[in-house]
Amino acid sequence: MKRVGFALVAVLSVLVAGYALFMYGTQPLGARVHPQMRAEFEARPVAIYAHIFGASVALLLGPVQFLKGLRVARPALHRALGWAYLALGVFVGGLAGLYVAFFAFGGAVSTSGFAVLAVVWLYTGARAVLTAKARDFDAHRRWMVRNFALALAAVTLRIGLGIGFGSGLAFEVFYPPLAWLSWVPNLLLAELLLSRER
């Protein structure tokens, strides 16, 4: 069951990252988003591209970092990919995400949800670095579980968008709550899984 769940997470991560890189790499910026969102995207292209690129790096590298065989057989590669995940993915994507959160569509609910997500993502990334440097690898792994659960907000956000559009609700009604619903359940599930390990 664990392997099936991991495989599903890995596939969804790659699909969402691939979609984002394709759309933002080949289409005009904000071509597929709400007109109000498009205007904000066009006003801050560097931050948007940095966030998309960083989050995509995290989604593509995250599942690889949880492969025990790679950690054991190729520890140097695991470390190199880990630095790329944290530096390019979390810190570039998180800082850019924190900035653009203040211009998020949906007002204070969206802004607060995405801003808190960015802060917690950056915090768990920093804790992962510190525990790795201290060679407390069990704590490092636990912080990385939390951190990747937050990176998966990109996946659960897309699932939420599909449900929202399918429900027939207006975009301005269902989008703001997704700023919280896209990551809080992920983090709670991660904590539940970690508590079961104990």
Tokens of 97: 């995400």
Question: Cβ(124)–Cβ(181) under 8 Å?
Answer: no
- Give residue-wise pLDDT tens across range 112-152: 999 999 999 999 999 999 999 999 999 999 999 999 999 99
> Could you write out the DSSP letters of every residue in 178-191?
HHHHTTHHHHHHHH
Query: Residue 31: its pLDDT value, please?
Result: 81
Note the pTM of the prediction, 2 decimals: 0.93
What is the average pLDDT across 8-30? Answer: 92
- Give residue-wise pLDDT tens across range 41-99: 999 999 999 999 999 999 999 999 998 888 889 999 999 999 999 999 999 999 999 99
On the question of pLDDT at 198 being above 80, the answer is no
Tokens of 146: 């939390």
The one-character DSSP state at 152 is T
Helix ranges (H only) for 66-152 are 68-73, 75-84, 93-101, 107-133, 137-151
On the question of pLDDT at 1 being above 80, the answer is no
Q: Domain coordinates of the chain in residue numbers? A: 2-197
